[in-house]
């Protein structure tokens, strides 16, 4: 009975957080305490399950990126990159993909959203199909989501390591990167070879008058910006060398704050507190489900299918569907623990399953229901926003089905043969 209630509680957390503007992590904390009481577990066990290392990780990385945003380091990177292109459609399109990827790799979970106010008007001016530009931004962000110094990358490596499995951080980064680049290349081949059929600069019938594209801002290199950029590179190196990314980011971010405390007073406004509550709440709830035997029950159910590879495919599909309408990192926080009992059977390669789940949880951020997707949709220079949203949603449907099959066939299936 406790196991049934645990699964119902987990489903309720997702349903309520999707339907209502309530943080999923907050609901998960409440569910953790209620389920602990029903399972006969003391409240101290729930408090002891709080992932303090993950708290430091998310706060440290988002704080460092907040400092970089406040002191203009991010603007410096964007302005320098924009000067590299001179109106060439293919160059502009791939530059925005690359910029989104770079910003995400440095720790910005809103990389695509940050670039959308720049990229979507540029798409209108240079007759780049708005859907193509939107998807290039979103796939660029997803391509580097598992950089060693992002919340996603460090979180996945830590959770998997604590469960007793080993996944090479370079592999975790490379596979989602390669698959997203492949998808972006196909998108460019289908949508990018010809300019948009609508002449968006003439103002004729059925057209959208393109807003003027602002000149590239003159952002100069200052000592503080140079030091901040150096700190970000140092964090990347530290992550590759196996140094705790959360602690390193917190140390670097704090050092930058001390170097210019009054200039960075608003940096804490950029700390993703919603993500902190969400991830910590979900991990705490999953710890309770592990202790009351619910995860073992799910593992037994997966084993009863008779095919671990099939069970992994179903899990990838479930992660893709749920993440398209919810939080990617929250979904990953549930999907990984659900996969561990399956991996303990020894018939599947742990690295392949983890990489596949990682890819499936983030590639669906092209959904118009995701935070970045909503911002990109809002900035699109199109005559009919609803039609544009439907096109994004239709593409998302293809990805929700196709991405798990792609990840499963390339990362999971070879390790099961």
Tell me what pLDDT residue 303 has.
Answer: 67
DSSP tag of 206: T
DSSP tag of 129: -
Per-residue pLDDT, averaged over 72-87, amounts to 76
Total count of domains within the chain? 1
Q: Judge whether residue 182 has pLDDT over 80.
A: yes
Tell me what pLDDT residue 128 has.
Answer: 87
Q: Judge whether residue 208 has pLDDT over 60.
A: no
Tell me what pLDDT residue 302 has.
Answer: 67
Per-residue pLDDT, averaged over 374-402, amounts to 87
Average pLDDT, the chain: 84
Torsion-angle region of 382 (φ positive above 0: left; ψ -120 to 50: alpha; else: beta): beta
Give the Cα separation of 124 and 202 in Å (integer): 11
Tell me what pLDDT residue 35 has.
Answer: 92
Per-residue pLDDT, averaged over 28-53, amounts to 90
Tell me what pLDDT residue 363 has.
Answer: 93
Report the sign of the C-alpha dihedral through residues 155, 160, 164, 167, in that order: negative
Give the Cα separation of 183 and 168 in Å (integer): 23
Distances (CA, A) of 379 to 31, 91, 103, 382, 406: 37, 21, 19, 9, 30
Q: Judge whether residue 214 has pLDDT over 50.
A: no
- Considering only CA atoms, give the Rg of the chain: 22
Q: Are the C-beta atoms of residues 253 and 149 closer than 8 Å to each other? A: no
From the number of C-beta atoms within 10 Å of its C-beta (0-12, 13-18, 19+), residue 347 rates as middle
Position with higher pLDDT, 214 vs 95: 95
| Residue keyed to tokens 């009481």 | 37
Tell me what pLDDT residue 98 has.
Answer: 93
Per-residue pLDDT, averaged over 343-360, amounts to 90
pLDDT band at 206 (very low <50, low <70, confident <90, very high): very low
Per-residue pLDDT, averaged over 394-403, amounts to 92
Task: Name the pTM for this structure.
Answer: 0.76
Q: How many helices (H) and strands (E) does the chain have?
A: 20, 0
Per-residue pLDDT, averaged over 143-164, amounts to 90
DSSP tag of 20: S
Give the Cα separation of 23 and 281 in Å (integer): 9
pLDDT band at 290 (very low <50, low <70, confident <90, very high): confident
* Domain of residue 397, residue span: 2-416
Give the Cα separation of 318 and 302 in Å (integer): 13
Per-residue pLDDT, averaged over 311-340, amounts to 85
Q: Judge whether residue 228 has pLDDT over 70.
A: yes
Distances (CA, A) of 19 to 12, 279, 334: 10, 19, 19
Q: Judge whether residue 18 has pLDDT over 80.
A: no
Instruction: Measure CA of the first residue to CA of the last residue in the chain; give whole Å.
Output: 37
């Amino acid at each position: 009975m406790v196991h049934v209630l645990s699964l119902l509680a987990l489903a309720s957390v997702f349903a309520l957080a999707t339907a209502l503007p309530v943080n999923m992590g907050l609901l998960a904390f409440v569910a953790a305490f209620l389920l602990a009481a029903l399972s006969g577990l003391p409240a101290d066990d729930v408090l002891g399950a709080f992932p303090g290392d993950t708290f430091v990780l998310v706060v440290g990385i988002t704080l460092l990126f907040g400092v970089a945003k406040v002191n203009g380091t991010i603007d410096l990177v964007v302005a320098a990159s924009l000067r590299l292109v001179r109106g060439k459609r293919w160059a502009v399109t791939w530059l925005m993909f690359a910029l989104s990827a770079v910003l995400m790799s440095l720790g910005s979970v809103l990389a695509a959203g940050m670039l959308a106010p720049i990229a979507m008007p540029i798409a209108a001016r240079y007759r780049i199909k708005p859907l193509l530009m939107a998807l290039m931004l979103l796939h660029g962000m997803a391509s580097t989501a598992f950089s060693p110094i992002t919340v996603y990358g460090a979180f996945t490596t830590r959770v998997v390591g604590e469960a007793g499995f080993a996944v090479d951080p370079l592999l975790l980064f490379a596979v989602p990167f390669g698959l997203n680049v492949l998808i972006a290349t196909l998108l460019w081949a289908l949508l990018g070879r010809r300019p948009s059929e609508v002449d968006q600069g003439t103002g004729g019938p059925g057209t959208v008058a393109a807003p003027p594209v602002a000149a590239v801002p003159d952002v100069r290199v200052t000592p503080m910006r140079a030091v901040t950029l150096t700190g970000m590179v140092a964090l990347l190196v530290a992550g590759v060398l196996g140094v705790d990314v959360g602690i390193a980011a917190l140390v670097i971010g704090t050092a930058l704050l001390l170097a210019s405390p009054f200039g960075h007073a608003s940096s804490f406004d950029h700390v993703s507190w919603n993500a902190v509550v969400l991830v910590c709440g979900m991990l705490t709830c999953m710890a309770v489900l592990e202790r009351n035997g619910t995860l073992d029950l799910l593992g037994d159910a997966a084993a009863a299918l008779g095919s671990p590879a099939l069970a992994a495919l179903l899990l990838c599909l479930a992660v893709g569907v749920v993440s398209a309408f919810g939080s990617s990192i929250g979904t990953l926080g549930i999907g990984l623990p659900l996969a561990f009992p399956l991996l303990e059977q020894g018939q599947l390669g742990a690295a392949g399953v983890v990489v596949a789940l990682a890819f499936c949880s983030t590639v669906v951020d092209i959904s118009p229901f995701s935070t970045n997707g909503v911002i990109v949709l809002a900035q699109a220079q199109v005559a009919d926003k609803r039609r544009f949203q439907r096109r994004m949603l239709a593409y998302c449907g293809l990805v929700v089905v196709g991405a798990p099959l792609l990840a499963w066939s390339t990362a999971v299936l070879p390790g099961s043969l």
